[in-house]
A and B are shown apart, each in its own frame.
Chain A
């Protein structure tokens, strides 16, 4: 197996997830949870997926972990397309590990840390002959020290941060190459969140893991991630380096997210108003899914879906405002930077 830094460890190409739901007694409909999402996870990087609940960010992590079947699209592991068999082969499960949000529910309360961490080691035959020693090493890797003290404890004897570390240790037990962390700190107290985020950063740097960090907190994404992907209503709206996303958002939705985030450094914060709520995913709006709430919406936004336009080399935004060759339908001057605030109402028609 070749480990090349320029080949993504795990790549999703145009993956889509539709959930079938029953409506009433006879009716059926489809929830368009995630549509045409592409993401590449490189070794030694953290990619953050930011969005509100219902944006499809958790669905994406479930599809990458293959606990949810893809409706369409493909997955590539180390450059090779993955055959999407119904049963996920052991080596895939070993290489791609999922860490869940709630450490209070994802650890079995009737077992000790020793049992919880030894299971994956034994199942995947990674004990090296000495289970106890292997578990202790795992605890040390996630900075739960002295490890001898933690090994005999039950989940309820640990604090939230310690539990989440056990949860991460369980993910690390099988030496994965990719770690999918679904809101790993949102259930934790503020003072210990950074500890877990720093642990993830450490694992990225020390063990060259490719990490997908799913979160609703754009400030923590900026802190931890190299790349940020912003999702809205099942679609990717903007992708780029973490700094350029937070400093110069190109998509109106990203801008809305940023202005809604608590920001004690800003003395005067202007809240543009959110104008509505995220749409139903059963019948998502036509064109750009954000257009009913967008202060910059143009006629084309409600009819045609925007492709990802390049802002610069690594930064793309799915927004007609960034169309380099504006169609006749659109208004002149609409490429104005978003930092200047909404255009006059006259331009919007």
Chain B
């Protein structure tokens, strides 16, 4: 008997459809697993820490007594740190990316630099801590200051910023550069006026990812000797400091249950800072992208 070509009992097609469905289910499952784990984590933290979150928590220095302890110095230290990291790493990172992509003669040396930057992005953060300790704390005599911390963290995230910025710069169409060159523009003028603005949204994304990494890093700061008990606020870049991850680490490593809950409170504060940064970046990116269209 001859089967109609459109008959649904065509087993081959059904098999293929089944495979597609299964694959989609698998992908969906993995996606939701990740989201669910994150949600559980967030809920757990919130349940633990929420009752400690009040103005007193934000405006108190650390203390031996849990009900008196707060994150004031750690929060201010983190804000100082992130600002200084941004000031140091963004110009250097973006300028490097611009040089490698637009201005350098693409020879062997550029290739070697390129491979090594990719390698640096994979170096464990504790190693950067050791470098920071040797160079900034001891070698240059910056002591255990914000400067040492910010410079060390900048080293850590520079590869990320450079790689992300280069990718963003690569997406700018060649035709825009040619249009500028044909008007008698130099490479620098072209890069500054057209390539950089057009790649700004992508660069911003990379910068925020990198700063988010820096804000959560603990190991390098411990290595360079950021203090865990700081009962004063840093007044300048040469002051010693503490930061949120260090304060959290310190609380977690104490035996008392109350301090564990304080740590959860600290984590919430850290997440809020992080999300605020990301939200600001997305907002700016959205605005600039709209302006370009």
Do these two chains really belong together in a complex? no
